[in-house]
Structure 1
Amino acid sequence: MTTPADLKRALLDPPIESRPEVRWWLAAACHTDATLRNEIETAHSLGFGGMEFLAMPEANIDLPRYGWGSEEWLHDSKLIVEETTKRGMSVSFTSGANWSNANLPTIDPEHPAAAKELDYERDVPRIDLKALFRKGEDHPFDKPAEVKGQSLVAVVAARIANKDGEGNAISLYPETIDLSKDVAGEALEWTAPGGHNGDRDRGEWRLFYFWMHGTGQTAQPSSSVNYTVNYMDPDGCEALIDYWKRVVFTPDLLRTLSQNDRAQMYMDSLELTCHGAGGLFWGHTVEAEFKKRRGYSVIPYLPFLVRVTRMMACDSTFTYEPSTSGTSGETAIDKVRFDIVSTFTDLYIENMLRPFRAFLNSVNVKLRSEISYGLPFELSRPGTEVDGVETESLEFASQIDAYRLLAGVAHLFGKQYSSETGATTRNFMLNQQFYDQIINTQLAVGCTKTVLHGWASMAGAEGTQWPGHEGMWPMFSERFDYRQPGSEFYGLWCKALGRTQHVLRQGKPRIDVGILRTDHATDNLIGFATRREDGTRISDEEAYGKMWMRNRENHWWQDLGMQDAGWTYEFFDGQLLRDPRVKMEGAMVQPEGPGYQALIIYQSALNPDVAKHVLGWARAGLRVLLVHNTSEVKYLAENKFFHYPTAASRTQGLDGRDAELANTIEELLKLPNAAEIRHQAETVEALRRLGVRGRAEFEGPNQSVVSHLREDGQRSYLYLYHFLYENGEPTDLRVSLEDEGAIHRIDTQAGSITLHRASRAREGRTTLDVGLSPGETALFMLDRAVDPRSLQPAILSAHTAAKLSEWDLTVESWDAGDIEVITEDRGLGYVSTEHKPRAAITKIQVGKVTSLLPWSALPQVGPGVSGTGEYRTRFTLDSLQPDARHILDLGSTCGGLGSVSVNGSAPRGFDTSAPKVDVTDLVKEGQNEVVVRVSSSLNNRLLARGYYDGEQHPLMKALGEWRSQEEKNPF
């Protein structure tokens, strides 16, 4: 439990472990030791708390010398670990070259440890691998290597039910025939049924030959061909551990790692690829493991499992659907499809995450992972097997309900919940406020670690142009490094964010309601659903700032009643409730964690054992609500949604237990603390009737604010966020908190904590009043150890002491400067060379301005300037009123970072959405001098230089983002 003294010290100077971290894109291992040291020292001096490093592709380099796995890469990795550890920073490896999918140079596609897929051919026995992988050569970002071997898994006969207009089968009768045992070598003799069973055996049959072969997926930059490991079979993780143990984790490196308690392995989104028509990952253990876990063979159902996936699992289409003419096949096939994903999830957990984490922990390294991303896995269950659960802003955009999907498992099991933040479809264009709003959204659901995406200002190869080496291509990321004009203020910004993250890590989260769901193939492409109906692109700032949650639309739990009441909720797979680490006491789920006061069930399918578990807890007092007639997103880019007419109306898998589930639900609804409703909009009132009251509920609905609550012994911490930053109005809010105590407001910009003047206690609760501007956040502490009635604070009225109307302006304009050439000879027979573009900064003396116009409207500056503006002015205070607060209100800084200095004081930062600075301790009677410095993005200058006019990376083409000549700069 944090003491008041501890809190004050942390607010004054937040500990390094609470500060934001950065993802560091290295140009493979092309960097000198001097550059690596300088980059780490610079990141540390700017206030960042750690660095996650990975190798990115670089054109025209000697891969055996500089690729991932080379001597240079191992040397650089060791140096990075040493230098970050010296400074108390965290350090994160990634689990392979390029993305997080683990890749190894010690295997080939035929090796048992290599990734495998289940492919099929119709009516012809073998896969033409040469033709298949020649076709894959055109893939823009995953060019597979040659695959030679294949092994027969099964042969299944299915009768065609329907064809499309071109004669292709689109649906099959669900009663298939497994012919696998009839195959001799590669020969099969079989005669289709001839009518002895009536019409059901007549018609056209099709033979499906299922083969397993390697995916051939490789990743660059690698010192040799680097193949993706198998996530299904244990062989993949065994080979992965063996490689890291033998090659990377040398005795010297292990000694350094033992001194860094925040060393991590980071597993990014699982961008694994199948190239064949089957579209299914596979392994030599899958068939047997499925039968052992599900109780039946998957083989007869394989024709209904093959699918086409364009990018991620949510963007999948099953090739064949079951005929529904007079059969129950559709429901049965849905259940089988659920069972295969459940099995894949089990194998991912047991064969990859669990052993890999155990190995890493044995060498003092934690496993942080974007669990399940992109693949057909359940989303939340794997979170039990990692040390940190990570989400990201690119795939979930800025939508709060998406971040709630992973919050449940993180909070139930006490995991660090973090986010990779800053990836968008554009670089250098968006202001700091845009990214602050993403971070604010994530904090509101319990993320307490921000990993900025990313840092790439290290030296690049020859040909690199200003502003510098891209690392993560000219897209999909902002740059949070010293080539940004705003980097001058990163120290203030990192401190402010570090204070917030530190406070929100204290104690335990308190979430009012837990919602059961199974996130199979969750839509993680929300951030790409940015096109209008006519096909034109919606800019990031419009999508993030005005659509979806900013338009008060949630994609999963669509009713906003709980959110508007100030109640908190989050999602998780119901199977997690059966984990022995999850308890129910005092009518709360996990009292030492989120402490859910009630559970909601809304999806049609429910695990019967979970239902029995919930019934047992309900008999012990837990409140349970079934909500019927609901919908949630399936794939937003194509406007696809799931619809659930009746909650818990069938089991999830093909287990034959539907009647048992129905009996369990019938017993549940007989209890006085369980209920069902027909409309989602009735949720709040139904829960109130069951006795639920929000721990920090709003007195009257508020449609602009979301909250997050932590409890730490005698103190609670409340985070409030006005999320309508583009299309909202200022709002006044009254919050009613559990228990009586004194309310203090924490100023994360100044690092101070003061008694909140607008609060009172009554009837066992404490209320606070606060006004919030659009985009603004506020952080409060309720101290139960202090009787609020003993404090009697004075109420201060707001008034204008002075208007600052005349400023002297100087603009520091950033542009391309000289290119620094850096060389290194490590005595290995070659010299490494780096080219590092530098910025040239020119001062423009604008002089006196009386209205703070955009730079483009000032003739001395113009539209092509990016950089930093310094505004100076003086004002006079006739007198200082006792106990008065003096707030410098800047109105707007166009979303840019900046600082304020009064009478020569050290600079102070401000909220980019509500740029107000408390200067009470800085002003004096008589004349005062104010200096305001504000930064812009590099967008103006880069547009003027034609930076965005060139051809984009082919990945954008793959995503359908090519722009016509008329749309070169639509942003």
Structure 2
Amino acid sequence: MNMYRVEPFKSPENRYRPKMRWWLPGAYMENDEIKREIEWLANAGYGGAEIIHFFGIPTEDVEPEHYVRYGFGSDEWNDRMKAALETAIPLGFQLDFTIGPLWPIATPAVMDREDERCVHGLHFGTKMIIGAYRGTLPESGTIDGERPRKLVAVTAARLHKGAETVGKVATLDLESAIDLMKEGLVDVMTERVAWTPPDGEEWCLFAFWSQTNGQMNNSIGAPVIDHFTKAAAEAITGFWDERLLGDPHLRMLYEKNAGCLFCDSIELNATMLGGMYGAQPLAVSIWTPELLDEFRERRGYDLTPYLPSIFIKGLYQLSVRNADDDAEFDFEDRSSNRRIRNDFYLTLTEMFRDNHVRVIREWANRHNMRLRYQTYGLPTELTNGLLEVDIPETESLGFKDSTDGYRLQSGAVHMLNRELYSIEVGAVLGLGYKQTWTGKEYGLLWQLHRGFASGVNQAVLHGMSYETTSASGHFRDLFKWPGMSLMGSMFSNEWGARQPISLHSRGITDYIARNQFVLRMGKAKVDLAIYRYHIDGIHYDIQTEPTVYEQAGYSYDYVSPSLLSLETAKAGSFDGKPVLDADGPAYKAIVIDTRVQSEGSMRFSPYMPLEMAVRLLKYAEAGLPIVLVGEGASGIVSFNGDRSLMEQADDELRQKLDRLRVMPSVRHVQNQEDVIEALHQLSVLPAGRTIAKSPLITLRRYDQGDNYYYVYNSSLEFEFSGEIIVCGKGRAYVLNAWDGTVYSLQAGSTADGEMIIPLRLAANESALVLVTPHDMSECVVKHKDTPIHNPNILQLDNWTLTVDCWTPGSVPFETKIERIRLELSEGLKDWTDIPQLVNKSGIGRYQTSFVLSESDDRISEAVLQIGQLSDTFRIQVNGTPIQAVNQIDRRVRIGKWLKTGVNLIEIEVATTLNNALRPSDPHRQPQPHGLVGPVQLVL
């Protein structure tokens, strides 16, 4: 870090600051209130907001017949967005906008649920026949008989008589599969078929019907659009051109704001029979009218005869995810079935990428906006869809706060050279008004630290509701103190001004911004590229426990065939060693690893295109270390339209992998546990590591000779105190993200020239370490973090507590302050153990005094050790506020503000609103509040 970057680190620009997801009640807003809330967000340290038209909540002065005037894209909505943009732009506060109202994506341009541009499901009916059949096509039990449908295909296949049952309902002979419509045996007008099987065996007759699924976007009562066709994507962008950007002045504001269009996770259902969430799993496939033609063009063969094999019960609904399962009607060769489905899923992926994401991104870019997209939720190959996304986004909810899960997209971020990897963070069921900044139970910083350690560098908080002040009709039920919560009072969180912890938000947002500033420096340099080819919406078998690689100190990304086919995916050199993508992540080795089957425990090898094996051979010839685990590959990815062609390609793949195994830079091991030893044999070591196993997770970024390390203690129980060995030459510094200061470290060096850095991290604490050839002495503040030998410990027990309790006012949006003053003669206690504070939330100010004599010669080294508290705190020593204290470690050096004689300390603690809501919500459980301690002065 050059010295000119120190000040931007201390006071980051808005683009480095976290953003807020902002839930808005349609256009039922007031421009002055929009202005006030944006200014509050900016003052609280947020750099932008993501605007979501949630749904319209009418105000008392609007008649029902006029509600349509306040919808997405209406004149009223445009007027509110004009006010928002005119407020935000001068503040440098960037606004992002969802591509349509709420989610899944819909547009007022498509309001008829029978429109072909709506999302489709493919249904099937089946009938067992022996001998000639002339009759009506079999009906589907999942289709809506009252609505239009379209006959897509009619096929047949012989029932398999083998001992093994593959299909859940029936097993079919692969070679017998036939397209009866192609043979001219189906009368589409009368929906009848006349066909005689070629033998006297039992056959299964299938009819496949396409129907729009009826899934609605509740925000505007519009059907969800098809995510696989250009016509649907162009309906969205066309509406923006006509309605949202139709006014030249408003268009200028959008383009000057230069925000993002945002799309949430792809929450599509192939069928709405039974509901949106948790419905009974059904055998209905996601579909689009152009799929068979696109499949034939992209995969080189006709999917029609093999359609029975794509129907995995529940896979295309939000309730179930298991792409590894067998279909209801499957062919006798499981290997072929899975490759046929691979081809189907890959076609969906490419159509989503080319016909949907690319169209929206190119439109956004033409208007000086970028596309931020959560491209998961469908059975697709995740990284392939990211090729057309400006800013990939993950989420703490869907990926279960898993560092391993976040790496499913980090490979695409790094290999595609994307500046930002965003995270929707903070959505936790059951923690509405209860989620804390610093706690161990889904504390927001715990969630963010795990994301940062995995490559994330932009936080979007979930979220904040608009402060509506009036309502009419049945919406009144939403209006309870402390205000309307559009995501529901049990789903976290409301991070706006309605909670006491909001008063301390600036210190937290500054901390996040400084971390994000450093995590965008230069480029990520990652130890390992782990090959992964898998189809999943969100892989629900993700674990939060440290992986084998993390336990050994390695950083890693998952990489896929689509990423390894990039022009930049070639062998090069970095740090004097062979690497993959030297100008990007500079992976030191590739691991072809096994993976856990979805919803299972068995590990198996991934599928691999034949071209991938050819590329691996070239990497090995260039000296790039490669570790093969188990078989290395289950086979090629594609069915190739014919089982014999598939098996021939499988043989060729095995031969190439056999050649690979004996090459000098390659190691072959039987299981994942042996990979670490193989990497050591290949002299592939982590860029940041400890001598013994530790809970540390390390991320490295490199910028023109400067090495930045994000080091995270992932343990929630134990402190780390020891040494970490990192790559880089020069001097070592810690960049304090809490207050923006820089201080030097007394580092040693190894025989190989690596740096040995002493580090102490509390549980869930992180540090930013810089190794640089530059002399930063002009920027360094004096800092001493060594333990005090033979310390004198003064226990601070006598406290006065003054609590500003937040209580309901006369209307749902009014909060009143009730002040309670207590003498804590029995010591510090949780508020739930103090009768006067059992159901209270707010700001607690704890005051105590103590005397230091002139004989206390180590006053200048004094440390205040603050024990347990919830949630955030501030300190004053003798009337002087101490700025930006570490909210995780809670050990504060206060010696410079102490004096001989009487000293006064005040600790201000902010709580959530949870306990104050308990009287009106008996289902709420009490939450620890206040300062519990112990509080000690260490001299």
* SS at 1:472 equivalent: coil
Is it true that 1:929 corresponds to 2:927 in the alignment?
Answer: no
Distance 1:502-1:816 versus aligned 2 partners, 3 A rule: same
Matched residue of 1:307: which SS?
coil
Does 2:707 match 1:716? yes
- Answer whether contact 1:55 1:68 (CA < 8 A) is retained: yes
Residue matched to 2:930: none
Aligned length: 857
Instruction: Give, in angstroms, the shift of residue 168 of structure 1.
Output: 9.2
Could you tell me which residue of structure 2 aligns to residue 144 of structure 1?
none
Match of 2:868 in 1: 892
Q: Which residue of 1 aligns with 2:237?
A: 241
Q: Aligned partners of 1:127, 1:60: CA distance in 2, in Å?
A: 48
* CA offsets 1:226-254 (integer angstroms, 9 cap, x no match): 22222222211121211111111232222
Distance in 1 separating the partners of 2:193 and 2:926? 60
Match of 1:149 in 2: 148
Using the TM superposition, give the Cα deviation of residue 733 of structure 1 relative to its aligned residue in structure 2, in angstroms. Answer: 3.0
Q: 2:636 is aligned with what amino acid?
A: T
**CA–CA distance in 2 between the matches of 1:220 and 1:129?**
28
Secondary structure, in 3 states, of the residue corresponding to 2:763? coil
Question: What SS does the corresponding residue of 1:48 show, helix, strand or coil?
Answer: coil
Looking at structure 2, the residues matched to 428 and 794 of structure 1 have their Cα atoms a distance apart, in angstroms, of: 38
Aligned to 2:521: 506
- One of 269, 292, 295 as aligned partner of 2:297: 292
Aligned equivalent of 1:257: 254
What residue is the counterpart of 1:943 in the other structure? Answer: 918
Letter in 1 for 2:293: A
2:849 is the alignment partner of 1:874: yes
**Corresponding position of 1:566:** 553
Q: Please, which of 477, 485, 493 is the counterpart of residue 500 of structure 2?
A: 485
- SS in structure 2 at match of 1:345: helix
Q: CA, structure 1 residues 888+649, in 2 after alignment: closer, same or farther (shift >3 Å)?
A: same
Q: How does 1:387-466 map to 2 (within 5 A)?
A: 387-415=390-418, 416-426=420-430, 427-433=432-438, 434-459=443-468, 461-462=471-472, 463=476, 464-466=479-481
For residues 501 and 876 of structure 1, the distance between their equivalents in structure 2, rounded to whole angstroms, comes to 42
Shift of 1:45: 1.2
Which residue pairs with 1:471 in the alignment? 486
Relative to 1, partners in 2 of residues 1:882 and 1:780: Cα closer, same or farther, differing over 3 Å?
farther
TM-score (norm 1): 0.83
Equivalent-residue separation in structure 2 for 1:721 and 1:432 (angstroms)? 17
Q: Partners of 1:179 and 1:172 in 2: how far apart? A: 16
Deviation at residue 476 of structure 1 after TM alignment: 3.1
Answer yes or no: is the 8 Å Cα contact 2:853–2:900 preserved in 1. Answer: yes
**What residue is the counterpart of 1:4 in the other structure?**
3
Distance 1:351 1:60, change over 3 A: same
Within a 5 Å distance, the mapping from 1:2-41 to structure 2 comes to 3-6=2-5, 8-41=6-39
3-state secondary structure, aligned to 1:563: helix
Indicate the residue corresponding to 2:625 in structure 1.
623
Q: 1:417 is aligned with what amino acid?
A: Y
Whether contact under 8 Å (1:758, 1:770) holds in the other structure is: no
| Structure 2 equivalent of residue 367 of structure 1 | 371
Identify which of 765, 768, 788 aligns with 2:757.
Answer: 768
Q: After superposition, what is the alpha-carbon deviation per residue over 1:4-35, rounded to whole angstroms, capped at 9, x for unaligned?
A: 232x2123322211111110011222111121
Separation (CA, whole Å) in 2 of partners of 1:56 and 1:69:
13
Q: TM-score, normalised by structure 2?
A: 0.86
1:734–1:809 Cα change, 3 Å: same
Letter in 2 for 1:648: A
In the alignment, is residue 611 of structure 1 matched against residue 622 of structure 2?
Answer: no
Distance 1:526 1:605, change over 3 A: closer
Give the conservation status (yes or no) of the 8 Å contact 1:510–1:596: yes
Change (3 A) 1:119 1:321: closer
Secondary structure of the structure 1 residue equivalent to 2:868:
coil
Q: Does the residue aligned with 2:814 lie in a helix, a strand or coil?
A: strand
- What per-residue deviation string (whole Å, max 9, x for no partner) do you get for residues 97-116 of structure 1? 22142434335334342222
How do 1:742-781 and structure 2 match up within 5 A?
742-757=731-746, 759-760=748-749, 763-781=752-770
**CA–CA distance in 2 between the matches of 1:519 and 1:883?**
60
Deviation at 1:865, TM superposition (A): 1.1
Are the counterparts in 2 of residues 649 and 662 from structure 1 also a CA contact under 8 Å? no
Alignment partners' CA distance in 2, 1:409 and 1:52: 23
Which position in structure 2 is the counterpart of 1:648?
633
Counterpart residue type for residue 407 of structure 2: R
3-state SS of 2:387 partner: helix
Deviates most, 226-235 or 914-923 = 914-923
Offset, 1:323: 5.1
1:798 paired residue number = 788
Residue 177 of structure 1: aligned partner: 178
Asked if the contact 1:489/1:909 (under 8 Å) is kept, the reply is no
Equivalent position to 1:600, from 567, 588, 591: 591
Counterparts of 1:70 and 1:485, CA distance in 2: 36
Partner residue in 1 for 2:806: 814
State the AA in 2 paired with 1:18: Y
- Per-residue CA deviation, residues 893-948 of structure 1 (Å, 9 max, x unaligned), is 13x01212223334534444322233354444544332211112222121232264
- Amino acid corresponding to residue 605 of structure 1 in structure 2: Y
1:48 is the counterpart of 2:46: yes
**1:160–1:169 contact (8 Å) kept in structure 2:** no
**Structure-2 separation of matches of 1:793 and 1:899:** 21
- For structure 1, the 5+ residue unaligned runs are 135-146, 196-200, 528-547, 629-645, 820-835, 950-966
Alignment CA distance shift 1:109-1:735 (3 Å): same
Residues 872, 930 of structure 1: 8 Å contact kept: yes
After superposition, the Cα gap between the structure-2 partners of 1:298 and 1:798, relative to the gap in structure 1 and judged at 3 Å, is same
Find the aligned partners of 2:400 and 2:859 in 1 and give their Cα distance: 44
Instruction: Compute the displacement of 1:888 (Å).
Output: 2.3
Q: Please report the RMSD computed on the Cα atoms of aligned residues, expressed in angstroms.
A: 3.0
Tell me: CA distance 1:281–1:56, structure 2 relative to 1, closer, same or farther (3 Å).
same
Structure 1 residue 452, shift from structure 2 partner: 0.4
Distance 1:303 1:794 in 2: 69
1:846-895, Cα deviation, whole Å (9 max, x unpaired):
1244622111222332x21111211112344446869964432212213x
Evaluate the alpha carbon distance shift between residue 566 and residue 849 of structure 1 in structure 2; reply closer, same or farther with a 3 A threshold: farther
Secondary structure of 2:612's aligned partner: helix
Q: Which residue identity does 1:798 align to in structure 2?
A: I
User: Does residue 266 of the first structure (1) align with residue 262 of the second (2)?
Assistant: yes
5 Å-filtered alignment, 1:903-914, equals 903-914=878-889
* Alignment gaps of 5+ in structure 2: 128-134, 274-281, 594-604, 641-645, 928-939
The alignment partner of 2:835 has SS state of coil
Pick one of 674, 686, 702 that aligns with 2:666: 674
Structure 1 window deviating more from structure 2 (882-891 vs 460-469): it is 882-891
Q: 1:173 to 1:795 in 2, by over 3 A?
A: closer
Instruction: Letter of the 1:845 partner, please give it.
Output: R
What is the CA–CA distance in structure 1 between the aligned matches of 2:853 and 2:517, rounded to whole Å? 40
**Greater alpha carbon shift after TM alignment, 59-68 vs 927-936:** 59-68
